Amino acid sequence: MRLAEMTTDQVVQYLVKRSIVAIPLGSTEQHGSLGPLGCDSIVATEVVERACNRTGIVMTPAMPFGLSQNHTSFGGTVSLRASTLASVVFDIVGSLSGQGFRKFLFVSGHGGNRGPVLCGLADAVACNPDLRCRYVPYWELPGVPEAQKELFGEGNGAHGTATELSIVYHLYPDLAGESKRKIKKHPPEAPAGCVLGPEEWARRYPEGLVGVDPSVISDRAGRDILKAIVDSLCKLISEWEKDAS
């Protein structure tokens, strides 16, 4: 159900019966020494692809860049401006809605995407009130916070989380050894509402990660939390498609 691998005729046939599309949102940003730069995109893509395969809905290619300005002191990070990301979201919705798509499900693997994406969706709906748009960070899906708590306790963290690293290690076992060689508790998250620039982030979090306890990371936990996330997303999709509003 990958949109990029479908023909125009197949999309037209899909739109005869369904009008929902899922858009994975990620980033390309530092995840310290424990994770690849594409962690957020990898997880978002895997979650959405598994859910789409089960529910039969179409997914677009993942958006590989997000709002990551606070990480740009670390090598390899690519950040969009907030206005750029909002415009990209607006244009995605505008392009596909003109062809018959009506429900847009943005599933994010990166926390920094929230504000710009919601702004872009607000503008899109203002231009076309018949559209229905949802933005869902995968860790906020129903039941997922409870599953994270059970698997990782207080060690999940806030950036480079045990959840995302466990999923990546489950998908790419060759990476799993890094966490065991560098077991330490990373500094806690800044108070709610703090907006940190790249220099301040690097000062507070010199290794990049925030709050995660690598000792709780495992490929088995990655398998279990991935299943919980996909199950929850499938249920959300099913319920939303049945909702005519």
What are the DSSP calls for 72-92, one per residue?
TTSTT-BB--HHHHHHHHHHH
Residue 153 or residue 215, greater confidence: 153
Please tell me whether residue 136 adopts helix, strand or coil conformation.
Answer: strand
The arithmetic mean of pLDDT across residues 109-123, rounded, is 97
For the chain, report the end-to-end CA distance as a whole number of angstroms. Answer: 24
Query: What is the rounded distance in angstroms from the CA atom of residue 13 to the CA atom of residue 57?
Result: 12
Please tell me whether residue 29 adopts helix, strand or coil conformation.
Answer: coil
Report the b/e string of 163-184 with b at 16+ CB within 10 A. bbbbbbbbeeeebbebbeeeee
Q: Which CATH number fits domain 3-242: 3.50.50.60, 3.40.50.10310, 3.40.50.300, 1.10.3720.10?
A: 3.40.50.10310
Residue ranges of the domains in the chain? 3-242
Is pLDDT of 230 > 60? yes
Residue 184: phi, psi to the nearest 5? -160, 155
Is pLDDT of 196 > 70? yes
Is pLDDT of 99 > 70? yes
Please tell me whether residue 207 adopts helix, strand or coil conformation.
Answer: coil
Residue with token string 């997914």: 59
pLDDT of residue 191: 77
Asked whether the CA dihedral 140, 17, 6, 170 is positive or negative, the reply is positive
pLDDT of residue 1: 87
Is pLDDT of 181 > 90? no
Task: Tell me which DSSP letter residue 100 carries.
Answer: T
Query: What is the rounded distance in angstroms from the CA atom of residue 227 to the CA atom of residue 4?
Result: 25
Query: What is the rounded distance in angstroms from the CA atom of residue 164 to the CA atom of residue 37?
Result: 12
Its pTM surpasses 0.75: yes
Alpha carbon 209 to its chain's center: 17
pLDDT of residue 178: 60
Cβ-in-10-Å burial (0-12, 13-18, 19+) of 130 comes to exposed
Residue with token string 């990546």: 168
pLDDT tens-digit readout, 58-89: 999 999 999 999 999 999 999 999 999 999 99
How high is the mean pLDDT of the chain?
94
Of 34, 4, 63, the residue nearest 172 (C-alpha): 34
pLDDT of residue 185: 65
Of 160, 151, 141, 101, the residue nearest 236 (C-alpha): 141
Confidence of residue 109 (pLDDT cuts 50, 70, 90): very high
Q: Are residues 46 and 39 in contact, defined by beta-carbon separation less than 8 angstroms? A: no
What residues contact residue 146 under an 8 Å CB cut-off, 6+ apart?
A: none
